[in-house]
Structure 1
């Protein structure tokens, strides 16, 4: 049973974290990430620096917290939490990755984008590898999984990145279909 004081403290911590996140988001639209100081974030959030450090070690940890488990949530949402290895699940993984990459539509300076995109990619690749490792289960040897999981994860991720960056004229459903065909050996070169 949670005491009333604990509940109030949890709400206050959540509100403080959100105000730090909001302050950070405002600042990245105004100045380069490297130039944002903890004092800037604290001042914008109207808290003292000690309060910032009670929640985060530095601005990189704040950024990592913001990205959170959104990659995992996108995969769970698009696969309905079902772990299978078939063409349909691969399509859903691609669609989940596409959704994940379109989320950070934050108006910000290029230094922030340069920092966030690699972190987003790393988070999505890790989550895809976890899903694929589970979905391959006992169907592959450990040696085969060690080979296939990163290859498939990178194919899914790259398909989503190509779509999200606008490098392809296909819609996300077509990208998902083509990636699943590549993974399942049904690639047909254009006639």
Structure 2
């Protein structure tokens, strides 16, 4: 609509309404398949009208993106030192945090399979940005393309190993998984030659 300003993100009422929408969405994810959830379901659970919803989010996919970013920030980013360089300690923390993220995500959704692909794309994107930030923080003499490639390789590897851990029933504690895969990550694959 022309002439309508977006809500002020610092206004306490806007923050509360946005949280109401997110809480209602999470509630719906616990009882319904993501693809079955409608804006009407969310607005009814949040006790708001559709116009209020659309003032905050253009659609349920943007809401899902906001939900995932918030969860990723709280469960992964907050668990590592993002200001420092990438170290073995940081990698261990990342693996454990990603395991916890997968486990929690698996329990949050009624039909995990319906959101798994969206979840994967989202995690990989944010994890790659975080990894690039950590790699760039180290004193490494490399061009930006090499750093970006390294960030992609590392982030997708971290995602893959923790995804597989979750898929195969979480048979070992996250800390043990982290210790077990660390030599592959830090020393590369020369150990197989």
**Superposition TM-score, scaled by structure 1 size:** 0.76
Unaligned runs of 5+ in 2: 1-6
2:185 aligns with one of 180, 183, 186:
183
Unaligned runs of 5+ in 1: 1-5
1:111: how far off? 5.6
**After the TM superposition, which of the residue ranges 164-173 and 39-48 deviates more from structure 2?**
164-173
Contact 2:82/2:134 (CA < 8 Å) preserved in 1?
no
**After the TM superposition, which of the residue ranges 38-47 and 114-123 deviates more from structure 2?**
114-123
1:78: how far off? 3.0
Specify the SS of the correspondent of 1:85. Answer: coil
Per the alignment, do residues 130 and 70 of structure 1 end up closer, same or farther by CA in structure 2, a change over 3 Å counting?
farther
The 1-side partners of 2:108 and 2:143 are apart by: 42
Map 1:53-132 → 2, pairs under 5 A: 53-104=54-105, 105-110=107-112, 112-114=114-116, 116-132=118-134
1:132: how far off? 4.1
The 1-side partners of 2:113 and 2:160 are apart by: 22
**After the TM superposition, which of the residue ranges 122-131 and 32-41 deviates more from structure 2?**
122-131
Contact 1:101/1:120 (CA < 8 Å) preserved in 2?
no
The 1-side partners of 2:157 and 2:148 are apart by: 15
**Superposition TM-score, scaled by structure 2 size:** 0.75
Which residue number in structure 1 is paired with residue 3 of structure 2? none
Deviations 1:102-144 (A, max 9, x none): 3323142346433553244334433443234324442434454
Specify the SS of the correspondent of 1:138. Answer: coil
1:151 paired with 2:144, answer no
Specify the SS of the correspondent of 2:140. Answer: helix
Pairwise CA RMSD:
3.0
